[in-house]
Amino acid sequence: MFLWVGLGSQLLNTLLKLWFHRERPTIHRLIEQAGYSFPSGHSMAAFSLYGVIAYLLWRHMHSRSERLLLILFTVLMTGGIGWSRIYLGVHYPSDVVGGYAASGAWLMLSAACFEAYRNHKAKPHNIKNARKK
């Protein structure tokens, strides 16, 4: 799941950049960055990475405070990385929001497929398999 989300997010980012061909901001840059601007690859990677970590760890954390800290950490890391891309002048805010949206959609689709696979695997496929259990 972890590799699937990360690699899929990278592929999706590359395809979206090739589709939109949006140039990067040209004023107030603190660093130089090559390539297209939309969507932000760093924002997509952060959302995918921290999102899938939170998704995978959630079921192992049972106390409310642990889960709250997990979500707080995830939001702060993802938000901080997106904000830094705007601050550095290499992305427009819409690039970051677009990266979050694309990565969030990919993460939700991946999680839904993963859960469907887990549920399908846990159910007996026929009466013969059900008797064995």
Whose tokens are 């995830």? That residue is: 74
Q: What is the 3-state secondary structure (H, E, C) of 72-101?
A: HHHHHHHHHHHHHHHHCCCCCHHHHHHHHH
Whose tokens are 């969030």? That residue is: 104
Distance CA 42, CA 100 (A): 10
Please confirm, yes or no, whether 42 is among the known catalytic residues. yes
Please confirm, yes or no, whether 91 is among the known catalytic residues. yes
Catalytic residue among 42, 62, 120, 125: 42
Whose tokens are 């899938």? That residue is: 52
Distance CA 44, CA 103 (A): 5
Distance CA 31, CA 49 (A): 24
Catalytic residue among 21, 62, 91, 120: 91
DSSP designation for 39: S
Catalytic residue IDs: 42, 91
